[in-house]
Amino acid sequence: MSFKTILVAGASRGIGLAVAEHLVSQSDRLLAVSRTAAPIDEWIQADLSELTGVETVAKAVGDDRLDALLYMGGTWETHAFTNLHSLIVASHLC
């Protein structure tokens, strides 16, 4: 599969970085978005929880058409899997 332009949000580490590194050689242009640096040529520093961050990304994309937008940004909530918040406890509440 080959893409022209791909944007990966959350590309500094984790799932997003793995996806970006996999796809960078299969696209003409891969834009990597995150707050801290991503080891990808076209890294865009932006906080996507802020309007200014979204505007920064839109400006970087410019007139290019995105063929794929992969949104991997987010927070891995480890506390969601403690006994207090487990799915088993939640199911008892239903």
Ligand X SMILES: NC(=O)c1ccc[n+]([C@@H]2O[C@H](COP(=O)([O-])OP(=O)(O)OC[C@H]3O[C@@H](n4cnc5c(N)ncnc54)[C@H](OP(=O)(O)O)[C@@H]3O)[C@@H](O)[C@H]2O)c1
How far is Cα 18 from Cα 14, in angstroms, rounded to an integer?
A: 6
> What mask of x and - would describe binding to ligand X in positions 61 to 90, judged by CB under 6 A?
-----------xxxxx--------------
- Report the amino acid identity of residue 83: N
How is residue 85 written in tokens?
Answer: 């918040």
> What mask of x and - would describe binding to ligand X in positions 5 to 44, judged by CB under 6 A?
-----xxxxxxx-----------------xxx--------
Site residues, ligand X (CB under 6 A): 10-16, 34-36, 47-49, 72-76
